């Protein structure tokens, strides 16, 4: 069985990637869970980032407002002591301010930016040059200066510096230092809480996605199990992987198997009826059609005087003659729901009502016989024109209960019907003369045939093994619509519409 893009007969298969064990990875449920989890996590991370940025901007404005207020208040408080050189008051003011938890240090600078005093963690004069450069830039009188640096513990500190002015004269500068990490700790705590919530939501979405994925893939798994059973595999052998890929692979295999089965059935139907071929193909591993008792009609037909005729012909001509007439037997059978059971030399056995049920199997068998006789008459006209001897057939028909099914050995079997009713049909064929159709009285008198068949009493014959003789009739024609149908059918066969290709 091929696995590429096309089947042997040219039928295109589904174009699928190579679904080998190495390329198939995770089931759809898990891949869906991973995708949903990733999308959820990225969405939450984006929301957290946006929220953190907004909080940072808001808190930064609040911190600057708070620090600006503190440093300006300190500048106002230090105004009088600075201009009056009251260093004790300045020291007390600086010391009292550093006792607040949010303030890490306070420093005072003179009007030139040189450090006068400091308390706590301050720049310690390291910002003097930066301060002088900032002072050189024009700005408003209440200009607030901001600087950042790292202390000895590598903590980032922010210094806010405001001028100390009195009547337009700048007497110095005051510096207040804050720890940025502590000021922005609320953002860190909020971010941590948000990340925890995001992780919890991601885990819940993963669990939900796995459950939903399994529910969504349940119909696919059912189809995989169905295709596995159709291909003779057990459901529990279903591989764990990409369900869609495995389903497409199984559908391709099943489609290929159906193509091969159809090809085998077409070949097989040349030897048995299409119905029997289909039933036998259904169980190739163990061919066994149930033998059953059926009511059917059996027809035997053979060529009168065939033995003496074949003695005057070479084997190739005999085979050609038989094949031609076998073809007519088969084609007529298609029109009247008959199945050619077998060819026995110059004779043919045709069954009606089995394997396909047919409530009118008696009428169809008689119509088949009448049509065959009429066709032979037309063919004889052609044979006579070509100086060939005429062909005459005799037909015996019987209906009754018989056994239908496969007979033979495990090495060779054939579908057929057997029983006393079959034997009687063969015997009636032997009692018929050239161009005669012999049927028993019970067929002629049956309600399905009584008003549709023309016949005349023939004779009573004794059959070995039977106490009572069998009354027989000679069929002389068919009545009703079947007569016109036979004429149209013969015209079709003679003009080539249903005629055998030589």
Q: State pTM to two decimals.
A: 0.51
Q: Tokens in use for 246?
A: 């495995």
Per residue in 242-264, pLDDT tens?
666 666 777 777 777 666 666 55
Q: Is pLDDT above 60 for 281?
A: no
Q: Tell me the HSE value of 351 on the side-chain side, using a 13 A CA sphere.
A: 28
Give residue 184's pLDDT: 64
Closest CA to 297 of 437, 480, 476: 437
User: DSSP assignment of 333-353, as one string?
Assistant: HHHTTEEEEEEETTEEEEEES
Give the tens place of pLDDT for each residue, 121-135.
Answer: 777 666 666 666 766
Q: E-strand spans in 354-446?
A: 393-408, 413-418, 437-440
Cβ atoms 159, 177 nearer than 8 A: yes
Residue 2 confidence class, pLDDT cut points 50, 70, 90: very low
- pLDDT surpassing 70 at residue 271: no
pLDDT at 101 (0 to 100): 74
Mean pLDDT over each residue of the chain, to the nearest integer: 78
Reported as a pLDDT band with limits 50, 70 and 90, residue 429 is very high
- H/E stretch holding 470 reads strand 470-478
Task: Flag whether pLDDT at 13 surpasses 70.
Answer: no
Of the pLDDT bands very low, low, confident and very high (cuts 50, 70, 90), residue 185 is low
> What is the Cα 101 distance to its own chain's centre?
69
pLDDT of residue 113: 75
DSSP string over 311-340: HTS-HHHHHHHHHHHHHHHHHHHHHTTEEE
pLDDT at 295: 94
Is the per-residue pLDDT at 186 higher than 50? Answer: yes
Average of pLDDT values for 299-310?
92
Tell me the pLDDT tens digit for each residue of 488-499: 888 888 887 544
Report whether 278 contacts 267 (CB < 8 A).
no
Paired strand residues for 157 = 149, 179
d(CA 236, CA 436): 64
- Facing residues of 392 across strands? none
Query: What gap in Å lies between CA 168 and CA 85, rounded to an integer?
Result: 18
Which has more pLDDT, 267 or 60?
60
Query: Is residue 501's pLDDT more than 50?
Result: no
pLDDT given for residue 165 in this prediction: 83
- The candidate with the shortest Cα–Cα distance to 213, out of 57, 32, 420, 34, is 32
pLDDT grade for 23, boundaries at 50, 70 and 90: very low
Q: What is the pLDDT of residues 82-97, one digit of tens each?
A: 888 888 888 888 888 8
- What is the token pair recorded at 445? 């008198």
Signed CA dihedral, 8, 10, 11, 12: sign only = positive
Residue 60 CA, chain-centre distance (Å), reads 58
Confidence at 303, pLDDT banded by 50, 70, 90: very high
Quote the distance between the C-alpha of residue 275 and its chain's center: 30
**Which residues lie across from 105 on neighbouring strands?**
120, 177
Q: Are 481 and 499 in contact (CB under 8 A)?
A: no
Residue 270 has pLDDT above 60, yes or no: no
pLDDT, average across residues 362-390: 93
pLDDT at 209 over 60: yes
Backbone angles phi and psi of 96, in degrees to 5 = -60, -35
Beta carbons within 10 angstroms of residue 257's beta carbon: 15
| Nearest-angstrom CA–CA distance, 388 and 377 | 13
Mean pLDDT over 428-433 rounds to: 94
State the Cα–Cα distance between residues 433 and 417, nearest whole angstrom. Answer: 25
Q: How distant is the alpha carbon of residue 392 from its chain centre?
A: 59
Directed axis angle between helix 87-98 and helix 28-77, to 10°? 160
Q: How confident is the model at residue 297 (pLDDT cuts 50, 70, 90)?
A: very high
Whether 285 has a pLDDT exceeding 50, the answer reads no
Highest mean pLDDT among 32-36, 265-269, 335-339, 440-444: 440-444
Across 158-169, average pLDDT: 83
Q: Where along the chain do its domains lie?
A: 78-183, 285-494
* pLDDT given at position 135: 66
* Residue 397 CB neighbours (<10 A): 27
In this prediction, what percent of the chain has a pLDDT beyond 70? 74
Q: Does residue 393 register a pLDDT over 80?
A: yes
The number of beta carbons lying within 10 Å of the beta carbon of residue 405 is 19
For residue 359, pLDDT beyond 50: yes
Query: Do the strands 393-408 and 437-440 form a parallel or antiparallel pair, or are they unpaired?
Result: parallel
Yes or no: say if 246 and 217 are a contact pair by the CB < 8 Å rule.
no
- For residue 182, what pLDDT band results from cuts at 50, 70 and 90? low
Contacts 24+ apart (CB under 8 A), 255-259: 255/7, 255/11, 255/13, 255/14, 256/1, 256/2, 256/7, 256/13, 257/1, 257/231, 259/7, 259/8, 259/9, 259/11
Phi, psi of 474 (to 5 degrees): -100, 125
Mean pLDDT confidence for 359-378: 94
CATH number belonging to the domain at 285-494, selected among 3.30.70.270, 3.40.47.10, 3.30.70.1230, 3.40.50.720 = 3.30.70.1230
Share of the chain above pLDDT 90, in %: 24
Pick the CATH number of 78-183 from 3.40.50.150, 1.10.3720.10, 3.30.450.20, 3.40.640.10: 3.30.450.20
Q: Determine the pLDDT at residue 290.
A: 55
| CB atoms near residue 107 (< 10 Å) | 24
Bigger pLDDT: 342 vs 397: 397
What integer is the mean pLDDT of 65-81? 84
pLDDT, mean of residues 379-391? 91
Taking only the tens place, the pLDDT of each residue in 461-487 is 988 878 889 999 999 999 888 888 888
């Amino acid at each position: 069985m091929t696995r590429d893009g096309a089947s042997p007969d040219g039928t295109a298969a589904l174009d699928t990637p190579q679904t080998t064990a190495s390329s198939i990875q995770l089931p759809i449920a898990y891949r869906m869970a991973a995708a949903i989890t990733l999308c959820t996590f990225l969405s939450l991370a984006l929301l957290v980032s946006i929220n953190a940025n907004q909080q940072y901007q808001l808190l930064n404005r609040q911190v600057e407002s708070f620090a600006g207020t503190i440093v300006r208040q300190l500048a106002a408080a230090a105004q009088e002591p600075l201009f009056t050189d009251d260093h004790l008051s300045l020291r007390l003011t600086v010391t009292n301010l550093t006792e607040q938890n949010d303030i890490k240090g306070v420093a005072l600078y003179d009007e030139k930016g040189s450090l006068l005093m400091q308390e706590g963690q301050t720049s310690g004069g390291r910002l003097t040059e930066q301060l002088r450069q900032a002072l050189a830039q024009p700005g408003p009188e209440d200009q607030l200066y901001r600087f950042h640096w790292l202390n000895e513990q590598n903590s980032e500190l922010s210094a806010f510096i405001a001028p100390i002015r009195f009547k337009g004269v700048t007497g110095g500068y005051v510096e207040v230092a804050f720890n940025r990490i502590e000021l922005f700790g609320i953002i860190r705590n909020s971010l941590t809480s948000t990340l925890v919530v995001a992780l919890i939501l991601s885990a819940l979405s993963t669990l939900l996605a796995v459950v939903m994925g399994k529910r969504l893939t349940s119909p696919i798994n059912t189809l995989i199990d169905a295709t596995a059973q159709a291909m003779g595999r057990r459901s529990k052998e279903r591989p764990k992987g990409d369900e869609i890929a495995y389903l497409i692979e199984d559908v391709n295999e099943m489609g290929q198997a159906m193509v091969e089965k159809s090809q085998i059935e077409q070949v097989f139907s040349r030897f048995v009826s299409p119905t029997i071929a289909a039933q036998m193909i259904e169980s190739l591993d163990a061919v066994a059609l149930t033998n059953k008792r059926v009511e059917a009609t059996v027809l035997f037909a053979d060529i009168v005087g065939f033995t003496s005729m074949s003695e005057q012909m070479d084997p190739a001509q005999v085979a050609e003659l038989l094949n031609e007439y076998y073809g007519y037997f088969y084609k007529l059978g298609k029109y009247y729901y008959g199945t050619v059971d077998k060819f026995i030399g110059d004779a043919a056995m045709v069954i009606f009502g089995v394997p396909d049920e047919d409530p009118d199997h008696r009428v169809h068998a008689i119509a088949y016989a009448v049509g065959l006789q009429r066709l032979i008459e037309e063919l004889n006209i052609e044979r006579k024109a070509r100086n060939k001897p005429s062909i005459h057939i005799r037909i015996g028909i019987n209906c009754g209960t018989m056994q239908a099914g496969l007979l033979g050995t495990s090495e060779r079997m054939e579908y057929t019907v057997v029983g006393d009713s079959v034997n009687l049909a063969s015997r009636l064929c032997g009692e018929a003369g050239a161009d005669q159709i012999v049927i028993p009285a019970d067929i002629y008198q049956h309600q399905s045939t009584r008003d549709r068949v023309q016949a005349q009493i023939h004779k009573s014959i004794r059959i070995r093994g039977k106490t009572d003789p069998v009354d027989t009739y000679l069929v002389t024609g068919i009545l009703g619509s079947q007569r016109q149908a036979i004429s149209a059918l013969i015209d079709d066969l003679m003009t080539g519409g249903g005629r055998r290709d030589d």
